[in-house]
Structure 1
Amino acid sequence: MTDLSSLPPMSSPTGGLNHAARRAESRSGKPVGPQFGRALNYLILFVGATIMLFPLLWMFTSSFKPEWQILAQPPIWIPSTWIHAQAGSTTQEFPLWWAVNPDGEREEVLKVGVRRFTTVIDVSQMPELIAAPADRLSDAQPTAMDSVTFNVRTLTLDDGTTRQVVAIARDGENLVVAAVDDLRKIAAIRPLDEVNAGKRANVEIGGYRLQARELEEEGVTLLALGPESELTVVAPQEVASAAVLVPAEAVEEAGLAPFGSTELPVYTLADHPEAEKYVLLSAESWQPIIDLEQARASGFTVENSALSASELRTVNGTPDMPVATAGMEDGSQREVVLLVETSALTFVIPVDEATTLRLTPLGKLAQPFVANLDGVSVSYRDDYVEGDQRHAIAIVSERRDMALIAPQAVVEQAFDVPSESLSAVLTPNFSLQNYVDALSKDLGGATFFTFFRNSGLLVLLNLIGHFLSVTLVAYAFARLRAPGKNFLFMVLLSTMMLPFPVMLIPTFEIFQKLGMINTLWPLFVRSFFGNAFLIFLLRQFFMAIPMELEEAARIDGATTLQVLVRVILPLSAPALATVGIFTFWWTWNSFFEPYVYLSSPQQYTVSLGLAFFKGQYNTSFHLLMAASMVVILPIILIFFFAQRYFIEGIQLTGLKG
């Protein structure tokens, strides 16, 4: 008889596959399934961590970026410096762009002008128009045909066939359209400013009313079809060195001149030969400024009655500055520049000492502060950038409209390109200047170091208060026996359910009667009276400590306080670390309470200090990002080094021995 136990096992339909999997597992030494699951877990963790860390990474990179770059579209992910070219001898700088010149080479250029174009047709040549239901038309798609661009739609006819059309006007719920094949024969590209300069004209064609533009000089009526396009005239960066700053009223338009395949206006200057033509590079408001150090050293105030009638003169290359003769205390007379005028006093500086007086574009002077110079309030900026240098400057006199121009002959090498083809000339640059500016900036008589000092002091005081009060109360609820203890504990927990705004007004009234408003007292004194959540947290941990340890200490003669200090607290390091982290986190991030109780910048905390970088009309995002990174750094470091205790404290507080 055959011994059945000696026969090989029968194979199943999937036996070959299982055998192959077992062989693969035997070669690798690890099961195939768990490997895939582990890889999937790591992938999910990586994706989740990336999503969670993205805001922090964005804020970190933004802290190194200049202000314009943070909200740039499309986004610029790597902090970079935009290369500029100085405009002549002025304080203005032109940004440089990459463009492909007519020779096909990539070149650094600056923008000279922009002109917009649109597709038009002569209404006298208008083809057949039809009204089509909107639901039979597709969305418009810009399509280039024979060097002309149309907003082409697809019209579905009754027989199911389609036809390409362009919408001309609206007729009730229908769109008035014309066939593309008919329009492409008569359409042309015209500058948008020329079309809009024409007189509005309502014309009726085929029973449809159309809004067009009548160009009387050409004797035609044009209908703009769109889409609009844009050409930018650019020139080599050497044009910037030939730029000259002149008063805007001295510039007069003198027609158009060709640049590449388009035209731009050219100008003449008053009191200059008409043959001299110029190209307008920019026109904006400019503001006189002077170094703040020189204004403090050489400037002084005089009574208006001691000044002669002023006249406008050019001082240190700055035109139209008011100059007067001031009577000095020693009886002498001296020519002075009127920098800041008030109803009774004028802050002046001698003409021969105004060596740093100059003009700068008004856009570079946003959000100034105010300083008192010899009894007169003067606006100033302590972070004014000029080239590679930073200056503290005073903003003086009145703004004026100025124009930067360049001779047409210098711009002869200009050419035009589609605006969307330009890209900024950037070079990667991780600069710490934002951090330096954010931490050293004068914020209402304080700096960010003042806010750090205040927040650090509050953290220390709140830590002391919580450790003293919370440990005692938590131990009492966990170990001591007293009638009504559980009821009192429930009352304590119920205080956690009270909304904070409900308690704000009574608390504010108490601190106001105690004379503690605009001091740090309201922000830390309550920690010495406990915290319901932290008491609950610590009580749960204390209850998990074996009672035998406490009983052994009492047998050795330890008092209740000695048991707490020498037995309970050393075993409660994770819970105490959790209390410390929560206290630090709450105090450091607190905004609303400091906002309510503090009014002086010298008392502000870091959370309130961040609000200084957000103004009514403008936000200094680059400084805000840098300051925010510095503010969150202590929280990250503390959690990084104390995370083991924090996690243990959270886990063990749910256990009960």
Structure 2
Amino acid sequence: MENRIRLSIAKRKIGSILFGLLVAVLMAIFISPFLVMVLTSFKTNSDAFTIPVQLLPRKWVFENYPAALSAIPYFRYMGNTILITVISVIGHLLVTPMIAYSLSKIKWKGANIISGLVMATMMIPITVTMIPMYKIYSAIGWTNTYIPLILPAFFGKAFNIVIVRQFFNGVPNSLIEAAKIDGANEWQRYSRIALPLCKPALTTVGIYAFLDAWSDYLAPLIYITKPEMYTLSLGLQQYMSEYTVDWSRLMAAAVVFVLPVIVCFSIFQKNFVQGIATSGLKS
């Protein structure tokens, strides 16, 4: 009996060690590009391509950061990006839970069909709708404005709707029915009962919306041609000339570009993980 217990404990320890090694290897794989980017930002441009490759800089060049931020109108582009990102996140957080609640908790004819169609749209590639959407916005005269970058957020995104809908499916109907018996109308049941319960799911939606808007490259490339309206994702291209690329300054600018994403995720990490976990409840 004692031998079995010892063997079981030994197996658990070995399993924990193997799991820890696996996590460490995966972490190293995922963090290595970011680590290379940070270290390259402190190198000279020639030092970035030395053979054999050296991870650490031979000479630490801290001037790359102020030089990178002054080489282009960096803070103007950051202001444009912040404006688009903030409005997009607000749009997603306003519209997504309302759509999800109507598909999950309001009984109306065709709700299941609409839910299926919403999920089906996730399989449509962006390249299919890219040209038709550009023609529509161009005909309206909305090119070279931020409207094409912001407006879609106020119509919901299928992936976000599915996440919040699954969360609402896990909310007991008895809570909604109790509020109905107490005389609460549909809006009160949504805003006072259901919405406060889905904060983890909304945090997940907010982070996804932030990442999409902050790092979006394709949409600004299509709709924005005026340099003063560039976002950061477009502005970073200016470190690339026809013949050369200033990699050290580009990496320095990229590090500053990524920092808000890291800060956002660090602050809301707990709620983000909780939202992902709870959105998988049975429907």
Q: TM-score range by the shorter chain?
A: over 0.9
Equivalent positions of 1:327-338 (< 5 A) are none
Name the counterpart of 2:208.
Answer: 582
Deviation at 1:456, TM superposition (A): 0.8
Alpha-carbon distance, 1:650 to partner: 1.5
2:81 aligned residue: 455
Equivalent of 1:640 in 230, 242, 266: 266
Structure 2 unmatched runs, 5+: none
The separation in 1 between residues aligned to 2:272 and 2:195, in whole angstroms, is 15
Give the equivalent residue in structure 2 for 1:551: 177
State whether structure 2 residue 246 is matched by structure 1 residue 620.
Answer: yes
- Residue of 205, 218, 225 corresponding to 1:592: 218
Identify the residue that residue 522 of structure 1 maps to in structure 2: 148
Partner of 1:75: 53
Aligned match for 1:435, one of 57, 62, 65 = 65
Q: Distance in 2 between matches of 1:645 and 1:522?
A: 30
Determine which of 503, 506, 513 is the counterpart of 2:129: 503
Q: CA RMSD in A?
A: 2.0
Give the TM-score normalised by structure 1. Answer: 0.41
Q: Shift of residue 461 of structure 1?
A: 0.8
SS at match of 1:628: helix
Q: Which residue of structure 1 lines up, in the alignment, with residue 26 of structure 2?
A: 48
Between the aligned partners of 1:50 and 1:522, the Cα distance in structure 2 is 38
Partner of 1:136: none
1:60 alignment counterpart = 38
Q: Tell me by how many angstroms 1:612 deviates.
A: 1.1
* Alpha-carbon separation, structure 1, partners of 2:123 and 2:16: 42
3-state SS of paired residue (2:53): coil
- Larger Rg over CA atoms: 1
Task: Name the residue aligned to 1:346.
Answer: none
> Per-residue displacement from partner, 1:395-414 (whole Å, max 9, x unpaired)?
xxxxxxxxxxxxxxxxxxxx
Shift of 1:451: 1.3
Alignment length, in residue pairs? 282
Equivalent of residue 488 in structure 1, options 114, 134, 138: 114
Equivalent position SS for 1:618:
coil
Alpha-carbon distance change, 492 to 46 in structure 1, aligned in 2, over 3 angstroms: closer
Structure 1 runs not aligned, ≥5 long: 1-14, 82-428
After superposition, the C-alpha distances for 1:133-168 in whole angstroms (9 at most, x for unaligned) are xxxxxxxxxxxxxxxxxxxxxxxxxxxxxxxxxxxx
What corresponds to 1:38 in structure 2? 16
Counterpart secondary structure, 1:480: coil
In structure 2, distance between residues paired with 1:493 and 1:41: 34
Alpha-carbon spacing, 1:569–1:59, altered in 2? closer, same or farther (3 Å): same
CA displacement 1:2-41 (0-9 Å, x = unmatched):
xxxxxxxxxxxxx9xx87x98xx6xxxx933333332232
| TM-score normalised per structure 2 | 0.93
- Equivalent residue, structure 2, for 1:570: 196
Compute the displacement of 1:67 (Å): 0.9
Equivalent positions of 1:2-151 (< 5 A) are: 31-81=9-59
SS of equivalent residue, structure 1 residue 654: coil
Give the AA of the match of 1:39.
I
Q: Deviations over 1:345-404 (max 9, x none)?
A: xxxxxxxxxxxxxxxxxxxxxxxxxxxxxxxxxxxxxxxxxxxxxxxxxxxxxxxxxxxx
Q: How does 1:343-492 map to 2 (within 5 A)?
A: 429=60, 431-441=61-71, 443=72, 447-492=73-118
1:64 alignment partner AA: F
Q: Shift of the alpha carbon at 1:49?
A: 1.4
Are 1:538 and 2:164 counterparts? yes
State the distance in 2 between where 1:50 and 1:570 align. Answer: 38
For residue 123 of structure 2, what is the amino acid of its counterpart? Answer: M
SS of match in other structure, 2:102: helix
Of Structure 1 and Structure 2, the greater helix share is in: 2
SS in 1 for 2:144: coil
Q: CA deviation at 1:68?
A: 0.9
Deviation at 1:57, TM superposition (A): 0.8
* Cα distance between partner residues in 2 of 1:80 and 1:567: 59
- Judging by fraction of residues, say which structure has more strand: 1
Deviation at 1:551, TM superposition (A): 1.6
Note the alpha carbon deviations across 1:574-618, whole angstroms, 9 max, x for none: 100111011011111111111010111111111111111111110
